[in-house]
Each structure stands twice: as structure tokens, then as C-alpha cells.
């Protein structure tokens, strides 16, 4: 709850269900915060959720789940939104707590690697039914059901072949000594991007890899001038972007587009598929009222969406379908550059593979240059 301190939220079950005193509840909550690895727990007891990183928030959630000393812990995708190093820490913590407290744990996940590391037994579900079960060693070595085989195949992505070096490639974007600094709420200087230089060539896929908080998303936004850099240079085909005002940037916006991480948040819930895909076409004068429907249908074909969903709204789609809408919106203006910020991190492994293959197809079909931001080295290696 963003309106309550973490301490209040931890004490709540003890106060309401165990009739504990506030002193006893506080003492128990502090002990649990220490157990789940919150450093300086007494000082942070009165902090709010927004003051913690994603990994720290998940540690607090684990403490909240254990506060009433349950025998069973159900962990529903506990590491999905976290980067790989934080994932490993949280999984290690769950395993330690399971052994120390003699807990039974049901770990729900779409990630086979996560399940393999921690589970004693595995159930594979599809369409509401268990299609296969067994010990990890047996199930991964000899999967019987086609769906299990498909999941395993998707998780063992092979990298695409690397093209031969091109000695005279055309420079599309050149970033030099880019810095984007902020002041935090306590006036501390945060150097989100500090002296970064890179070159993006035409028809190239450039991977940017880093943990949460490493500055990779801010770098992408700074390249597009969605966040104004503190200093440095960003040039698109030789034209400096950092000195341009909003009006001068507007015609260049159609050449540079972004795919955001969370399709549940990046799409306007009040806009249908037609509205979401038509808006950039009409705004940039790339379609008329007479031609826009045909152009939207062509975009839907491009990203693999059925025509009969044109009047549907985002809540009527799965996560993978929503990301297809977001990708269609990004390529609607026929951009030269697309920056994809963790576009598959919120999706399960089979849908990830489908979206990555779609991105590769679109890069080839439309001669796009792509900056692909991710915390997952296997995904970047695949692209």
C-alpha cells in the first residue's frame, strides 16, 4: 500500500489477527526485516514503498507473508519484474527461509530456469489443467508433453547468426559524452547516465545490458529527448538533438520511436486498437480519415493481430497481444530508429520468444535500427 509505511503494513496482521501489542508487533516485524535482509531495518521501518528498490520491496513482501508464521507459502511470480541478479538473491532467500522454517512452498512461475533451481517437484499447467509432472531432473531431461517440450525449446534460445563485418556502415545516431543527472528527494545528486558514448549504425541491433538502476532506461529516454540530458551530444544523421526545442523536435519524433517495458501501462485503456494505431498516423499527417482504416489494418497484419480485434480495448488482450499493439504503434510512423526498453520482461518465456521473433522480422522488413535494452543477457545474445 503506497499510503502506509512498511512498518505499519508488517504489523497489521499481528495487530488485527493475533491481538499483539504495538511494541510486540514492532519487535517481531523488525526481526523479520532483519531475517529477509533489509539493512538498517530500524531506520527504514517508517519508510514508504516508493523509497525501496524492486528487490527490497519483494523482500518486505516476503516478510509480510511470513509475519503470521504460516506452514505454506505460495509465491506467485515473485521474481518476474526483477533483474537476473536480484532474481537470484530473492530465490536464494526463499530457499533459505524454506529450509530454516520448514515451510512448504508453491512457486508459481513462467520461467523454467527459476523452477529448476529451487523446486523439488514440478507441475506444468496449460489451459487450467496439469499436463505433466515430475522431478526437475526427469522432466527437463525427458519431457513428454508437447507443451513442456515447447517451453523448454523457448528457454534454450540460440543466438541468431552474426553478419559479416561491414567496413563502411552508415551512422544513424551518435551519442557523445552524454550525462543525465537528477536531484533526489533528499537533494543527493544521482548520475543516472554519466559520460556515455555510442554509435548506432543503420540496420543494426545494438544491445544495452545492465541491472536495475544502472541507467539503461534513462539512456534510451535521453537519446530520444524524452528526458533532457544534463550535458553531452545526441546526433541523428548529423543533426544535434539536445539543443532543439519541442517544436523543432516534433518532425524528428516520427523518425525515433520507443517500445516501453509494460504494455499494461503504456497503452491508454480508453483507446481501442484502432485509436492507438491511428493516432500517430493522423498526428504526423501520414494518413487521412479515408485511408487510416486500411493503414491500421496493414499495421495489424504487420504485428500479427487479427482484424476482428480492431475495436477491442487493451483490457481484452493478453500481455503478448498488448505488446504487439505497442510495437505496431511504434512502427506506425515508419521510424528509422526504435528503442525497445525491456519489451519482453513482463511476458512468459514462450510469448517472449514470439515477440523477439516478431521484432527481428520487423527490423529486417522495415530496415530498422534498434536499440534493445534488457537485463537478460540470453535475450540480447539471441538478437
206 confidence band (pLDDT: 50, 70, 90): very high
Q: What residues contact residue 190 under an 8 Å CB cut-off, 6+ apart?
A: 181, 182, 183, 184
Would the pLDDT of 184 be above 90? no
Mean per-residue pLDDT, 275-282: 96
Torsion over CA of 367, 373, 379 and 380, rounded to 10 degrees?
70
pLDDT tier at 187, thresholds 50, 70, 90: confident
In which element (H, E) is residue 125 found?
Answer: strand 122-126
Instruction: Decide: 209 and 216 in contact? Cβ < 8 Å.
Output: yes
- The pLDDT confidence band at residue 181, using thresholds 50, 70 and 90, is very high
> What is the average pLDDT value for the chain, to the nearest integer?
90
Q: Measuring CA to CA, which residue among 292, 294, 44 is closest to residue 36?
A: 44
Question: Is pLDDT of 112 > 90?
Answer: no
Assign 282 a pLDDT band (cuts: 50, 70, 90).
Answer: very high
The cell for 319 is: 500481455
Mean pLDDT of 366-371: 94
Please report the pLDDT score of residue 81 as a whole number. 67
Percent of the chain clearing pLDDT 70 (strictly above): 96
pLDDT for 116 beyond 90? no
Q: How confident is the model at residue 224 (pLDDT cuts 50, 70, 90)?
A: very high
Query: pTM surpassing 0.85?
Result: no
At 105, the pLDDT band (50, 70, 90 cuts) reads very high
**pLDDT for 166:** 53
Give the H/E segment covering residue 173: strand 171-183
Pick the CATH number of 171-382 from 3.40.50.300, 3.40.50.280, 3.75.10.10, 3.40.630.30: 3.40.50.300
Ranges of H-type helices in 309-348: 319-331
Tell me which fold the domain 6-129+151-155 belongs to.
Rossmann fold (3.40.50)
pLDDT higher than 80, residue 82 = no
Residue 366 confidence (pLDDT): 93
Mean pLDDT along residues 246-267? 90
Residue with cell 523477439: 356
DSSP code, position 161: P
Buried b / exposed e over 209-236, threshold 16 CB at 10 Å, is: beebebbbbbbbbbbbbebebbebebbb
Distances (CA, A) of 44 to 8, 33, 49: 12, 10, 10
Containing 253, the helix (H) or strand (E) segment is helix 246-253
Q: What is the rounded average pLDDT of the residues 130-143?
A: 92
User: CA 319 to CA 348: how far, in whole Å?
Assistant: 9
- Position 319 scores a pLDDT of 87
Query: What integer is the mean pLDDT of 247-253?
Result: 92
Query: 4: how many CB neighbours lie within 10 A of its CB?
Result: 13
User: Closest by alpha carbon to 174, among 229, 239, 243, 254?
Assistant: 239
Q: Taking residues 159-170, what's their average pLDDT? A: 58
Residue 19 has pLDDT above 60, yes or no: yes
* DSSP assignment string, 340-372: EESTTTTS-HHHHHHHHHHHHHHHHHHT-EEEE
Where in the chain is CATH 3.40.50.300? 6-129+151-155, 171-382
Amino acid at each position: 500500500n503506497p499510503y502506509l509505511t512498511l512498518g505499519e503494513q508488517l504489523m497489521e496482521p499481528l495487530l488485527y489477527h493475533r491481538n499483539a501489542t504495538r511494541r510486540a508487533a514492532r519487535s517481531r516485524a523488525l526481526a523479520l526485516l532483519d531475517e529477509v535482509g533489509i539493512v538498517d531495518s530500524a531506520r527504514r521501518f517508517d519508510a514508504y514503498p516508493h523509497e525501496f528498490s524492486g528487490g527490497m520491496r519483494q523482500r518486505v513482501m516476503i516478510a509480510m507473508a511470513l509475519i503470521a508464521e504460516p506452514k505454506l507459502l505460495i509465491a506467485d511470480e515473485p521474481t518476474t519484474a526483477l533483474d537476473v541478479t536480484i532474481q537470484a538473491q530473492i530465490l536464494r532467500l526463499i530457499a533459505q527461509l524454506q529450509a530454516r522454517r520448514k515451510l512448504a512452498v508453491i512457486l508459481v512461475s513462467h520461467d523454467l530456469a527459476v523452477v529448476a533451481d529451487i523446486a523439488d517437484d514440478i507441475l506444468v499447467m496449460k489451459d487450467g489443467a496439469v499436463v505433466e509432472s515430475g522431478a526437475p531432473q526427469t522432466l527437463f531431461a525427458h519431457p513428454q508433453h508437447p507443451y513442456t517440450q515447447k517451453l523448454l525449446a523457448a528457454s534454450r534460445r540460440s543466438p541468431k547468426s552474426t553478419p559479416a563485418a561491414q567496413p563502411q556502415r552508415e551512422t544513424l545516431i551518435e551519442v557523445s559524452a552524454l550525462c543525465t543527472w537528477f536531484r533526489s528527494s533528499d537533494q543527493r545528486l544521482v548520475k543516472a547516465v554519466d559520460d556515455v558514448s555510442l554509435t548506432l549504425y543503420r540496420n543494426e541491433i545494438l544491445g544495452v545490458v545492465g541491472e536495475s538502476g544502472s541507467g539503461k532506461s534513462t539512456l534510451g529516454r535521453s537519446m530520444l529527448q524524452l528526458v533532457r540530458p544534463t550535458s553531452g551530444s545526441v546526433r541523428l544523421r548529423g543533426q544535434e538533438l539536445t539543443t532543439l526545442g519541442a517544436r523543432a523536435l516534433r518532425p524528428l519524433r516520427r523518425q525515433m520511436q520507443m517500445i516501453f517495458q509494460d504494455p499494461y501501462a503504456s497503452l491508454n485503456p480508453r483507446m481501442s486498437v484502432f485509436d492507438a494505431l491511428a493516432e500517430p498516423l493522423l498526428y504526423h499527417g501520414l494518413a487521412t480519415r479515408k485511408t487510416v482504416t486500411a493503414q491500421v489494418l496493414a499495421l495489424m497484419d504487420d504485428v500479427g493481430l487479427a482484424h476482428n480485434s480492431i475495436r477491442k480495448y487493451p483490457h481484452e488482450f493478453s500481455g503478448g497481444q498488448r505488446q504487439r499493439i505497442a510495437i505496431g504503434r511504434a512502427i506506425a510512423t515508419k521510424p528509422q530508429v526504435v528503442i525497445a526498453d525491456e519489451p519482453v520482461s513482463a511476458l512468459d518465456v514462450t510469448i517472449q520468444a514470439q515477440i523477439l521473433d516478431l521484432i527481428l522480422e520487423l527490423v529486417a522488413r522495415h530496415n530498422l535500427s534498434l536499440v534493445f535494452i534488457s537485463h537478460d543477457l540470453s535475450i540480447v545474445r539471441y538478437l
